[in-house]
Structure 1
Amino acid sequence: MPQITLEHSTHFDTTDFRALALEIHQLCDTHVGATIQSCKTRVVRVENLIIADGAPEQAMAHCDLRILSGRTQEQKTALADAVQKAMLKHLIQYDGPRQISVEIGNLDKPNYRKDVLG
């Protein structure tokens, strides 16, 4: 926990997603008390997608961030706002039409399992 997925269209290929992910990890620590060591981010480049009217210049980036249940709505809202701000800061090299979004969801504590090996 947290489980983070950063999906992006090919318009953002030059973005330093490692730097963005590390900033998001820090924000998870700051806003919801998750340890940086527990954060996991997957960066997914999406080649086949249709946005709005299907024009090829339409771009998108989305952060799906799942945290263990039990956080307050205020904590989740603060985290979403901070992650959105970080994404806007890092995703500046493309200035065409783009949609940048964030969703904070819950991982149900009783049903979430994790082992750290080695």
Structure 2
Amino acid sequence: MPHLTLEYTRNLADFDPAQALAALNEAMFDSGLFGESDIKSRACALDCHQVGVRDTPRGFAHVAVAMLSGRTDEERKALADSLLAALAPLIAGHTVGEVQLSVETTELHRPSYAKAVLHG
């Protein structure tokens, strides 16, 4: 916890998802809400997507953060804003037209969340 998922349309030319995940993880850590080794992230490229109804070059990147309950609305809003600020410059040079960026936070159900850490 937390789990961050970055979904992005593959038409973002030369976009580097590994660089984006590093920047997003850094923003998560800088928020002071999470321990460094607790932050988990992954990126998913979308080959098939649709934005709107017109045949116009468009794409998007969406960040979803699932975290345990206990954060205030203000903390969650500040986190979303900082993630958006970290992502925007990494996409700014890679657009194929209009690109929409968004961030959402959701709460995991604390009583049913299970976690194990294995050491090898």
User: TM-score, normalised on structure 1?
Assistant: 0.90
Q: Is the 8 A contact 1:66 1:106 kept in 2?
A: yes
How many residues were matched structurally?
118
Listed as ranges, the gaps of 5+ residues in structure 1 are none
1:48 and 1:56 map into 2 onto residues whose CA distance is 15
Listed as ranges, the gaps of 5+ residues in structure 2 are none
1:110 and 1:38 map into 2 onto residues whose CA distance is 18
1:111 and 1:5 map into 2 onto residues whose CA distance is 20
- 2:36 is aligned with 1:36: yes
Structure 2 counterpart of 1:105 = 106
Quote how far apart the aligned CAs of 1:102 are.
0.6
For the aligned residues, what is the CA RMSD?
1.5
Secondary structure of 2:53 counterpart: coil
Structure 1 residues 56-92: Cα deviation after superposition (integer angstroms, max 9, x where no partner)? 6110110011111100111100000011111111112
User: Where in structure 1 do 4 or more consecutive aligned residues deviate above 6 Å?
Assistant: none
2:80 and 2:102 map into 1 onto residues whose CA distance is 9
Quote how far apart the aligned CAs of 1:108 are.
1.8
Quote how far apart the aligned CAs of 1:19 are.
2.0
Percent pairwise identity: 27
- Which deviates further from its counterpart, 92-101 or 49-58? 49-58
